[in-house]
A and B are shown apart, each in its own frame.
Chain A
Amino acid sequence: AQTVTQSQPEMSVQEAETVTLSCTYDTSESDYYLFWYKQPPSRQMILVIRQEAYKQQNATENRFSVNFQKAAKSFSLKISDSQLGDAAMYFCAYRSSYGGATNKLIFGTGTLLAVQP
């Protein structure tokens, strides 16, 4: 069975600085999808960024980018120019491409990011 590990329960970053959140996963599959979700305090969880395993190029969405290392089974999230609104719980998630139609996700335990003004 696949597992997702986020080894940093909490992180802190100064406003305008860069921070990297770690995520590793374990799978025997060659094709899959990886996601980072953001859950602000008392607010809805939203997608930050996604990566298809068959793509070598790292995904980027504005200030958010990933470092996808397939051989190392690592999927870290880099937040550049951190803003106060980036403070949230961040979850890494894995989805098998062999899971059929159900789009089941496997989540890590989350990293709580604090942004200091």
Chain B
Amino acid sequence: DVKVTQSSRYLVKRTGEKVFLECVQDMDHENMFWYRQDPGLGLRLIYFSYDVKMKEKGDIPEGYSVSREKKERFSLILESASTNQTSMYLCASSPVGINNQPQHFGDGTRLSIL
């Protein structure tokens, strides 16, 4: 089974801090994704990566950056955390080139910015 592991289930940080959310997948997937999940808004794509050191903005990239130095690891960075970034963050991965393959998700990180 595909395993997508997010480093923290719950995280509390302060306004202005630099926050790192880590995600690791064990299935050699080329694609990795970061989503934000808010009630009534569903999942919104923040950033995705289709290869090492390659990244593209999703629908809501403002206030975030990402890093993919190794194929299995995709990090989401909140450069200066703000209270409106309090949310559930989901990481996902998928193989490339197989159109009907689903994305595989991690357990999520519930981030609170105080």
Contact = CB atoms under 8 A, between A and B. Distances in A.
Contact of A103 (B40, B94, B107): B94
A63 interface: no
A48 to B, nearest CB: 10
In this complex, the member of A37, A52, A105 whose beta carbon has the largest number of chain B beta carbons within 10 angstroms is A105
B89 to A, nearest CB: 12
Contact of B103 (A9, A103, A110): A103
Interface in A19-37: 33, 35, 37
A35 B100 CA distance: 9
Interface residues of A, number: 25
B41 A101 contact: no
A110 B94 CA distance: 21
A110 B42 contact: yes
B31 interface: yes
Interface string A89-117: 00100010100011111011110000000
Interface of B: 30-31, 33, 40-45, 48, 50, 56, 58, 90, 94-97, 99-103, 105-108
Interface of A: 4, 6, 9, 33, 35, 37, 43-47, 50, 52, 91, 95, 97, 101-105, 107-110
